Amino acid sequence: MKRIHMNTNEPNENSGPQPAPLRPAKLILRLTVIGLVLAGIAALFLYAGGWFTPHALSPAVMINTFEKVNGEHPGFRRNHAKGVCISGYFESNGGGTVLSRAAVFLPGRVPIIGRFALAVGQPYAADAAHTVRSMALLFKQPDGQEWRTGMNNIPVFPVNSAEGFYDLLLASAPDPATGKPDPAKMGAFVAQHPEFAKAIQLIRAQPASSGFADSSYNSLDAFCFINAKGTALPVRWSMLPVQPFQPLNPTMPGKSDTNQLFDALIADIHSHALQWHLIITVGQPSDPTADATLPWPPDRQRVDVGTLTIDHVESEDTSPARDINFDPLVLPNGMAGSDDPLLSARSAAYAESFIRREGEPKSPSAVSTAETAK
């Protein structure tokens, strides 16, 4: 075998003599081919990025619509904009280990950071009795994995798709002339989304509780738990309050007190730690997992896996929870999303909202540090 030395080989490295120059017609043809290939790839790339379909429902369009409907409130979450931050711990009783191998279900405590909020797009809106209340939590496992969840105090979600949510957002936007949603638009929405009418009946049938502390919070979307044996189960979860249910005060809302619900929550936490039982509802194969408007039959197995204790409340102005995206698909090993299309849509829209608000100047929260100190 001959060893070929680079320096001696360099002049001969091309296969034979240089080809003759291309004829002009061929040259133009080949240059055109090159141009088309490059333009085609670039066009495909831009198409994939949605550049040719700016009005298709994307995370950016969804968040733009929130900004259009609610006005621009830089630095705040685009939805569930008004809130207060909390911390505490979750004490697992070990009962969840048969359902999921997530470390959060091993007996013992994991720290919690979270946020209570009202499902409004305006961060300074006055508390209203029938506004949806939410509880967002981040469970930090000892191994560093996290479980983030955002739950609402309604039994089912009003729509079952991102498109439905977008349509509802537009249909229920207040008409600038009347300050109330346009009944015609709402009517058209209901006709187009039959799932909404059924869901809203279930939502209205639920008795209203007095505040954040005695509300139940539900995952609404279905998830999948995977246990140590690798068995996957469809689940939904709820936080059931230890605090006894009290019916909503009919005089609410008091117009002079815009933070009525938050102030009551703060006073409650200052007087004693608040607790909820984490209940995992195990679905059957026949139960719908892709439709958050449909409840599961009431006889499904419900497992109390531990107790959430909230013993600290803090304004968004100082809490690190302000800068946490409570993305429902941040899950530890042993949990996964389901085929519910709302999950990926929430994840994407929350991310878009997070990207925008993290880069914006911050204004003080309606629930101020002075208020949380009271």
Partner 1 sequence: MTRNPTQFALFSRILHWLMAAMLLAMLFIGVMMVASLGDYHRLLVIHRPLGIMILILAVIRLVNRMFTTLPPFPPTMSQRERFLASASERLLYTLMFALPLVGWGMLSAGHYPIVMFGPVHLPPILPNNPTLYTVLRKTHTILAYLLFLTFLGHLSAVLFHNLIIRDKLLSRMALWPIRSRKVKIEKN
What does the block give as tokens for 217? 């919070």
What is the number of other CB atoms lying within 10 angstroms of the CB of residue 198? 15
Separation in Å, CA 323 to CA 102, 106, 318, 350, 358: 25, 28, 10, 12, 7
Assigned token pair, 240: 């059931």
176-184, 197-205, 291-299, 316-324 -> range binding partner 1 (CB under 8 A): 316-324
CA angle, residues 68, 62, 51, in degrees to nearest 5: 110
- Answer yes or no whether residue 19 interacts with partner 1 by CB under 8 A: yes
Contact between 337 and partner 1 (CB under 8 A)?
A: yes
Q: Identify residues 103-132 at the interface with partner 1 (CB under 8 A).
A: none
50 vs 108, beta carbon nearer partner 1 = 50
Stretch binding partner 1 (CB under 8 A), from 143-151, 193-201, 202-210, 211-219: 143-151
Among 344, 368, 369, 371, binds partner 1 (CB under 8 A): 344
Cβ closest to partner 1, residue 304 vs residue 358: 358
Contact residue for partner 1 among 33, 43, 188, 373 (CB under 8 A): 33
- Is residue 245 within 8 Å of residue 180, measured between CB atoms? no
DSSP string, 24-79: HHHHHHHHHHHHHHHHHHHHHHHHHTTTT-TTS--HHHHHHHHHHHH---TTS-SS
**DSSP label of 293:** T
Q: Are 138 and 147 in contact (CB under 8 A)?
A: yes
Tokens of 40: 């085609």
Binding flag, residue 162, partner 1 (CB under 8 A): yes
SS3 103: helix
HSE-up of residue 80 (Cα within 13 Å, Cβ side): 25
Work out how close the CB of 145 gets to partner 1 at its nearest, in angstroms, rounded to a whole number.
6
> Could you say which of 80, 130, 193, 272 is catalytic?
80
Between CA 317 and CA 141, with CA 86 as vertex, the angle to 5 degrees is 115
Q: Is 37 in the site for partner 1 (CB under 8 A)?
A: yes
- Contact (Cβ atoms closer than 8 angstroms) between residue 114 and residue 90: no
Does residue number 4 form part of the binding site for partner 1 (CB under 8 A)?
Answer: yes
Q: Which of 18, 251, 256, 271 binds partner 1 (CB under 8 A)?
A: 18
Is 80 known to be catalytic? yes
149 in contact with partner 1 (CB under 8 A): no
Query: For residue 28, what are its two tokens?
Result: 């133009």
Asked if 144 touches partner 1 (CB under 8 A), the answer is yes
- If the CB atoms of residues 253 and 288 are measured against partner 1, the closer one turns out to be 288
25 binds partner 1 (CB under 8 A): no
Residue span binding partner 1 (CB under 8 A) among the ranges 57-65, 83-91, 177-185, 302-310? 57-65
Residues constituting the chain? 374
User: At its nearest, how many Å lie between partner 1 and the CB of residue 144?
Assistant: 6
Is residue 229 close enough to count as binding partner 1 by CB under 8 A?
no
Nearest approach in angstroms of CB 342 to partner 1 is 9
Nearer to partner 1, 38 or 184 (CB): 38
- The CA-CA-CA angle for residues 325, 329, 334, to 5°, reads 130
Contact between 128 and 255 under an 8 Å Cβ cutoff? The reply is no
Provide the annotated active-site residues.
Answer: 80
Residues at the contact surface with partner 1, assessed by CB under 8 A: 1-4, 6, 9-16, 18-19, 22, 27, 30-31, 33-34, 37-38, 41-42, 44-46, 48-50, 57-60, 62, 143-146, 162, 320, 323-325, 327, 329-330, 332-333, 337, 341, 343-345, 347-349, 351-352, 354-355, 358-359
